Amino acid sequence: MRQILKLLKSKAFYIVLSLLLQVVALILIITYFSSRFQVFYFFMLILSVIITIHVCNRESDSSSKLLWVFLIMAVPVFGGITYLFFGGRKIPKALMSKDRQAYADYKRYALQNIKTLEKTNGKDYTLDKMISMAWSNGYYPVYEDCETKYFETGEIMFHAFMKSIREAKQFVFIETFILDQGKMWDSLLELLIEKVNEGVDVRLIYDDFGTITHLKENYEQYLNSLGVKTYSFNKIRPQLAVQMNNRDHRKMIIIDGIKAYTGGINIADEYINTKERFGYWKDMGIYIEGKGVEMFTISFLQIWNYQSHQNIRYEDFLLPDTAFEHIRGKGYIIPFSDSPTDDANTGKNMHMNMLNAAVDYFWITTPYLILDTEMIDALVLAVSNGVDVRIVVPGIPDKKLVYAVTKSNCEYLVKKGVKIYEYTPGFIHGKVCLSDDVSSLVGTVNMDFRSYYTNYECGIWLYKTQCLDAIKKDLEHIFEQSHLVTEEECRQVNPLIRYYRNVLRIFSPLM
């Protein structure tokens, strides 16, 4: 009874109830006018035809187009109006304007090091290709002389960034999708308050949707009262609006502009396995130290300025080149962030570039495998070119419907020669990609529509850095722990279950 009362009082219940009432009201209004006014009925049909033509000609992936054409044709009276509310990935003008202004400010500080470019030019096809793509997609420079360290579990990464935060002298910036109260957050918050009392500038951004069932309504104000400057990103409101779909899925911790952490780890107990939800929670992350951290500092301040309506100067938090002279790292890195408000899908393009450049192997871990036609074709083409393509997905899922689509994609890919592994100890949430012993991508980007098209994401592409051996060793250990899905298993799937999965797969762009 207590749990029911808690649910009824929650913000999530209020939001869902309000949205359902709006949907019901919209259906009733359209039904009423369509049944009584023939002109209105024909108007809705014509609207659906016009929108169908628009969908077919818009710049988008074919899977998304197919879904919306199917829905509009299936229910033509409601299909067109449904698309206007939820269709495509059109970003509201206000959000687009603010984000692009922040992006324009960012470009003034995103500068390629000419000496670094001279060293990399013509050195390697994979490196040249990624540098060109990253710069054209979002003005993300390539950096050298950055130390890198890979974390094979959330527990190890947690202890590492807690140590770095204790050593902070100037500022600590934290950006996360999920923030849940528990042992992890309690110990981190206690440390952040200590740093505030020492005069360190502590700022926190968390996504409002990612915390909607975890935090009280006034928790943002509570943290600000403690001296932790806090904003919740893109507050969920009880309205039918497409911008509610754009979530801040990034995870980054930046210390003094010289150290940074990113990966799949949110701030919740399951990420460090002090709380069990779906077996063992396998997550991974990366640490960098050096000038490349400035890209994460700028990316954080972009979101901060947008969300706070402030105009904090980037240069107040950026260090001179002399601050990094003592750091000597191996290889090159490209830190990046990805936004739904630009015209580039940087996270997806990173995956595609690595896949297309692979000669020997392309290995990747992802909690969700919700792919468009372009990515599926690229995976199959790589296999036909002799590339060892391996994808690791969870053995125990966290979302049943999404997992059904994942299984559908897995079945198709296995038949085409892609090696699919199910992580049997539990749920693998890490997003790690490795190719040919030379390049890797670690960050927040899943192999799904949300990461590729609608969310704010971040990550680090690494080329011949000192941590690649550790990444390969971890992935090989994951393969040993996981179950390799066979074609025979796929053939034995119940036809009704296969049909159910295939139907859900049509709705992939909405997942």
Q: Are residues 412 and 288 both part of a single domain?
A: no
Q: Domain containing 176 — which CATH number?
A: 3.30.870.10
Q: Are residues 332 and 353 in the same domain?
A: no
Same domain, 52 and 176: no
| The pLDDT value given to residue 23 | 64
Report the pLDDT value the prediction gives residue 39, as an integer from 0 to 100: 66
pLDDT of residue 201: 98
Residue-level pLDDT at 107: 64
The CA-CA-CA angle for residues 495, 421, 411, to 5°, reads 25
Question: Are 276 and 365 part of one and the same domain?
Answer: no
Residues 375 and 271 in one domain: no
- The last residue of one of the domains, among 315, 336, 357, is 336
Q: Quick check: is 129 in a domain?
A: no
Residues of the chain scoring pLDDT < 50 = none
Is residue 152 in some structural domain? yes
Residue 454 and residue 497 in one domain: yes
> 86, 111, 130 — which closes off a domain?
86
Domain boundary among 336, 367, 387: 336
**Inside any domain, residue 383:** yes
pLDDT score, position 33: 63
pTM of the model: 0.89
User: Amino acid identity, residue 384?
Assistant: S
Per-residue pLDDT, 306: 84
Distances (CA, A) of 62 to 40, 59, 196, 199, 371: 31, 9, 50, 52, 11
Residue that is written with structure tokens 């990046």 in the block? 336
Q: What is the pLDDT of residue 216?
A: 82
For 474-496, b/e burial (b = at least 16 CB within 10 A) is bbeebbebbeebeeeebeeeeee
Which residues neighbour 38 within 8 Å (Cβ) at sequence distance 6 or greater? none
Whether 328 maps to a domain, the answer reads yes
Tell me the pLDDT tens digit for each residue of 175-191.
Answer: 999 999 999 999 999 99
Same structural domain, 77 and 115: no
Residue 128 lies in a domain: no
**pLDDT, position 93:** 57
- 80 with 115, same domain: the answer is no
Residue 177, domain member (yes or no): yes
pLDDT at res. 41: 67
Is 341 among the domain residues? Answer: no
Residues 100 and 81 in one domain: no
454 falls within a domain = yes
Same domain, 380 and 423: yes
Give the dihedral of Cα atoms 365, 372, 384, 442; nearest 10 deg: -30
**Are 80 and 100 found together in one domain?**
no
Residues of the domain holding 419:
346-510
Residues 56 and 113 occupy one common structural domain:
no
Structure-derived torsion over alpha carbons of residues 392, 339, 336, 140, reported in degrees to the nearest 10: 140
Residue 388 has what pLDDT?
98
The total of structural domains in the chain comes to 3
